Amino acid sequence: MSEQTVILFTYFVLAAFIGFEVISNVPTILHTPLMSGSNAIHGIILVGALLIAANAQTPLQIVLGLLAVFMATVNVVGGFVVTDRMLEMFKARQPGGEKGKES
Amino acid sequence: MTIAIATELIYLLAAVMFILGLQFLSSPRSARHGNWIAAVGMVIAVVWTVMLLRDSFTTAGLIICVVGFVIGGVVGVVSARRVKMMAMPQMVAIFNGAGGGAAALVGVAALLKLAGQPIELQSGFPEVFAVIIGGISFAGSVIAFLKLQELITGAPITYPGQHLINALLAIVILVLAAILLVTNSSIVVVTFMLALVLVLGVTFVLPIGGADMPVVISMLNACTGLAVAASGFALNNFALIVAGTLVGASGTLLTRKMSDAMGRSLVNVLFGAFGQVQVSKEGAQSTGARTVRSGSAEDIGTLLAYSSSVIIVPGYGLAVAQGQHALKELADLLERRGVEVKYAIHPVAGRMPGHMNVLLAEANVPYEQLKEMDEINDEFKHTDVALVVGANDVVNPAARNSPGSDIYGMPILNADQARNVVILKRSMRPGFAGIDNELFYDHRTILLFGDAKDSLTKLVAAVKAA
């Protein structure tokens, strides 16, 4: 294992802990938007898709790259838009009440 | 500052924005901002990547990036804008599938780059992992979509030797992966492996009932996250690793929360072939011949109008009928007459945790009236009427009383303890879990058959007349 791999692995482990920690207090009412929002975040695969598509040359590479960029874009764009639509409906509330309350 | 260092810093900025985004998404006040922050982080990461690549684009590469991005963007925006609130879960499933598919294809492309040459274990292992997990996530999400959209039956599809076949498929896939890693990159092996992975994704989700799809989607969401993280290892990309892992970890936690809410272990959800045709063992014979009491909208309207407290239990049937606005109208009407109205939200009401809240929020139902299960369960016994609108399994006493039942142990709303129970229902068909419901035959229960929206509209008229 190279030093680089160890560093990457460190990022991985730390990110896993943050991922657990950061959503541990989410109230039930936000589960669906949260799932949708995190779904949009893994659309970061678009970066990966661009990296492999950018220097595509053979027909196979072109097909793979095109499909990957297309699907990743659907994931990221659709994901954020649909999450925003869900959350938009929570916004028109009067402030106060027991919004953040969790049982 | 070199380009490489700038890149690391910019990806770090994006990662921080993803973390903040998730954090903000966890609180109703800031949720919308959270989504925006994450989206801006995404734009930053993508734009910088394009900047980095600007000199290395081949002509074909540039064209496919632009074409793929434009078409994908249009498809994403249009479908996300058009989708009905009710169909949200399957929309999330299909977006997730797209991400999983993209991760798998990135893996395939990376594996094939050095066709005929030995694959370095360090990058090869994560590439293979991304192909397998991403592919399963893609195929599984498509099946979840089809089930929720009711293009294929929501009931579990089972056949003899199912687990054995899946296990064999998994073993063959692992063997192919091993072959790939110890010998040379080969398009034949990669194609064969990808095909089997897709088959496994399908056969894995087919036997799972429609009622469990949210848990499955959440799990596949976490899987896609991990596949993306693996691609990050393969491409040596910090942003992919952190974002993918964040989703993998938070998705895993969310999946566990969901199966907990149903009182079942994840293993049971995934491998239990839940809700098969066999109705709960002891209930089967006894319920066949029994009668239910159905009432007219006028009777029920009067009952509601002259009660002092009503708890509404909304379920998926309400969502299907798009009846949330009619429900809100009924509730407003009752409140004006001095009836105390609350909504009892089961954690898995609708098709996903929180799904019902989203639907009711759409109809402008105030947060304060939405009560979670633990908060309200003790109140049913002091309540005049429990009004169950298109819900079934979440009020099925079999979960409490009938150890033989498939849903035994699932926490339920105590609607059966209310003085009167009114159930609006399309037909006597069992609920999504395919289990008969004792509550329908209770002497305190009145049923009103019909589409939830129609029934609610009739009730509004009846209450006005009362």
The alpha-carbon gap from A18 to the nearest alpha carbon of chain B, in Å, equals 7
**Residue B162: its pLDDT value, please?**
83
Catalytic site includes residue B442:
no
The alpha-carbon gap from A77 to the nearest alpha carbon of chain B, in Å, equals 5
List CB contacts (< 8 A) between A56 and chain B: 58, 60-61, 64
Report ipTM for this prediction: 0.88
Q: Nearest chain A Cα to B225, which residue?
A: A42
Residue pairs between chains A and B whose CB atoms are closer than 8 Å: 394
- Which DSSP symbol is given to A94? P
The answer to whether the pTM exceeds 0.80 is: no
Q: Do B68 and A90 touch (CB under 8 A)?
A: no
CA atoms within 13 A on the CB side of B254: 38
Average pLDDT value for residue range A29-48: 91
**Residue B212: its pLDDT value, please?**
80
Q: What are phi and psi of B157, to 5 degrees?
A: -105, 110
Q: Do B247 and A38 touch (CB under 8 A)?
A: yes
Catalytic entry in B393, B406, B416, B436: B393
The alpha-carbon gap from B133 to the nearest alpha carbon of chain A, in Å, equals 14
Q: Do B56 and A54 touch (CB under 8 A)?
A: yes
| B146 in contact with chain A, both atoms CB, cutoff 8 A | no
pLDDT string in tens for chain B (466-residue length): 788 899 999 999 999 999 999 999 988 788 899 999 999 999 999 999 999 998 889 999 999 999 999 999 999 999 999 988 778 889 999 999 999 999 999 999 999 887 677 778 888 899 999 999 999 999 999 999 998 888 888 778 888 888 899 999 999 999 999 999 888 778 899 999 999 999 999 999 998 877 788 889 999 999 999 999 999 999 999 999 999 999 999 999 988 887 776 666 788 778 775 444 333 333 333 444 567 788 888 888 888 988 889 999 998 888 878 888 899 999 999 999 999 999 998 877 776 767 788 888 888 888 788 888 888 999 998 999 999 998 888 888 888 887 777 777 788 899 889 989 999 988 776 666 667 788 888 888 888 888 888 899 999 998 888 7
Residues 59-118 (B) with a CB less than 8 A from some CB of A:
60-62, 64-65, 67-69, 71-73, 75-77, 79-81, 83, 85, 88-89, 91-92, 95-96, 98-99, 101-103, 105-106, 108-110, 112
Model pLDDT for residues B154-208, shown as the tens digit of each residue: 778 888 888 899 999 999 999 999 999 888 778 899 999 999 999 999 999 998 8
Model pLDDT for residues B303-359, shown as the tens digit of each residue: 898 888 999 999 888 887 888 889 999 999 999 999 999 999 887 777 676 778 888
**Residue B223: its pLDDT value, please?**
96
Closest by CA position to A93, among listed B365, B335, B325: B365
Rg value, chain B, Cα:
25
**Residue B355: its pLDDT value, please?**
78
**Residue A37: its pLDDT value, please?**
94
Contact at 8 Å (CB) between B385 and B418? yes
Q: Over chain B, what HEC string results?
A: CCHHHHHHHHHHHHHHHHHHHHHHHCCCCCHHHHHHHHHHHHHHHHHHHHHHHCCCCCHHHHHHHHHHHHHHHHHHHHHHHHCCHHHHHHHHHHHHHHHHHHHHHHHHHHHHHCCCCECCHHHHHHHHHHHHHHHHHHHHHHHHHHHHCCCCCCCCCCCCCHHHHHHHHHHHHHHHHHHHHHCECCHHHHHHHHHHHHHHHHHHHCCCCHHHHHHHHHHHHHHHHHHHHHHHHHHCCHHHHHHHHHHHHHHHHHHHHHHHHCCCCHHHHHHCCCCCCCCCCCHHHHHHCCCCCECCHHHHHHHHHCCCEEEEEECHHHHHCCCHHHHHHHHHHHHHCCCEEEEEECCCCCCCCCHHHHHHHHCCCCHHHEEEHHHHHHHHHHCCEEEEECCCHHHCCHHHHCCCCCCCCCCCCCHHHCCEEEEEECCCCCCCCCCCCHHHHCCCEEEEECCHHHHHHHHHHHHHHC
| A61 in contact with chain B, both atoms CB, cutoff 8 A | yes
Q: Do A30 and B26 touch (CB under 8 A)?
A: yes
User: Which residues 6+ apart lie within 8 Å of B311 measured at CB?
Assistant: B341, B342, B343, B344, B376, B379, B380, B383, B385, B386, B387, B415, B418
Residues 221-260 (B) with a CB less than 8 A from some CB of A:
221, 224-225, 227-229, 231-233, 235-254, 257-258
Q: Do A44 and B64 touch (CB under 8 A)?
A: no
| B344 in contact with chain A, both atoms CB, cutoff 8 A | no
| Token pair in block for residue B396 | 């099925």
